A and B are shown apart, each in its own frame.
Chain A
């Protein structure tokens, strides 16, 4: 493999690191923020399941992202990833929980604009639509689950310590499911643009198992996410866990599971195919934002409690961040593409 290819792949790995630092923090943020799960436990589980989700179920959303704009040159893919990574990093510095999803979509649109390729408007509208739907669905699921769980807990008359033990276990399981869903749903953000131009070849292991080039890419992306989780997600976890709404451990669990369900819904090819088979509108397989799902879940619970405890100013700032991030990513993408093409004389599209 050429060294330049590796360098270009680093763009994706940088974005993977951002995803690990930000989005993965959403999965365990509430659990770690409420001190129910230690950071180390969260980081280990998160990393393992993100990688598994990426390899096993990461294909669905990748296709959708590919339809938005098929970046056909490695330097172009590199530019999109770097632009997305930088924009996520900038937003993180401002303290806003954003997602790589919004950034990569903005960056791909930036590439389309720069290269004069057409943006598939239908796909773009579907993606933007899910960004509005995602927090709403997460909020509704959180409200339903919270009401149900609260009733069960009150009726079962569980000892405070027993409830604590159950909640802890539930948080870990929900976190593992969340990490798996995140890997499945969001690996497309990190490695999706490299899939059409993958530098890897399929590897057959003992005539039994084919480790495809796509899966190798996803494994690499998953590892980059894991590095992001271990190196930078701690602070973000505490922000997610404590700032928007002071939560009880049970509420934290509800947020994690709602977030995980939403991400899973938008990544599961199985559910999508099943809905189609019974003539129901299928769920679009779109990389959604884990931040939006978490914030939607937190606000859902806040609303159930009367809405007074929700820090609406923070929620407003977060929403503003969601709107500006794709634009910033698109602008940075244009700048990086310009630099690559005109200073480094690289071909950014064919």
Chain B
């Protein structure tokens, strides 16, 4: 009665809380898988383990998509958080795009099979680690937006830090690739992959900025 549906309201709330937590967990897990995918690819590209990991990322992406839709439906059907609803949905969509970027990278590795010479392996692995750390910090930022608004700024600052680190590593690696004796087509091909990985950080930073604005709007 009264549109409150007390039991259902609190039930829906708990379910949604779990779903949103699960969604952020997925982002974090996809990052961890991605962190091992790159070295796996570089060391044993023909090995079936790499494809297995790509499939895993694909499954997680589908799961995240489903959660986004569920959350969207429940938020609108139950008219929950009317003041922050559009912000939350936009946030989830943008994070979903981030997962999509991870997945896209995996597919590109799987389809195009770029040939990274051994001398670039370590740099590429380090760039990947920085990118994953950046997204991990974003996960913390997002979690704090939902539970602990005071910590949003601190966590968002870490995202910015890793984004800058990633830029430095990207530039250095790209420079080394173009300074090498490789043929131009291969240089372009490798640069494309390095750039695509670095873009994940740019997206993470944009989302962190977004979250900071939402947090200001949400301040009681």
Contacts and interface: CB of A to CB of B under 8 A. Distances in A.
Interface of A: 34-38, 40-41, 44-45, 149-150, 153-154, 157-162, 164-165, 168-169, 172, 248-251
A164 B9 CA distance: 10
A165 B13 contact: yes
Contact of B17 (A149, A161, A249): A161
B220 A45 contact: no
Interface of B: 2-4, 6, 9-10, 13, 16-17, 20, 79-84, 88, 145-150, 218-220
A35 B147 contact: no
Contacts of A34: 82-83
Contacts of A157: 147-148
Contact of B79 (A35, A44, A153, A172): A35
A169 B9 CA distance: 10
B10 A165 contact: yes
Nearest to A146: B220
A115 B79 CA distance: 55
Nearest to B219: A248
Nearest to B82: A35
| 3 residue pairs, one from A and one from B, having the closest CB atoms | A41-B2, A35-B82, A38-B3
Nearest to B80: A164
A125 to B, nearest CB: 39
A161 B4 contact: no
A154 B147 CA distance: 9
A38 to B, nearest CB: 4
Nearest to B217: A248
A249 B3 contact: no
B105 to A, nearest CB: 31
B13 A250 contact: no
Contacts of A35: 79, 82-83
A159 B146 contact: yes
Contacts of B220: 149-150, 153-154, 248, 250-251
Contact of B13 (A45, A161, A249): A161
B2 A162 contact: no
27 contacts: A35-B83, A38-B3, A41-B3, A41-B4, A149-B220, A154-B149, A154-B220, A157-B147, A157-B148, A158-B147, A159-B17, A159-B146, A160-B84, A160-B88, A161-B16, A161-B17, A161-B20, A161-B146, A162-B17, A164-B81, A165-B13, A165-B80, A169-B4, A169-B6, A169-B9, A172-B4, A251-B220
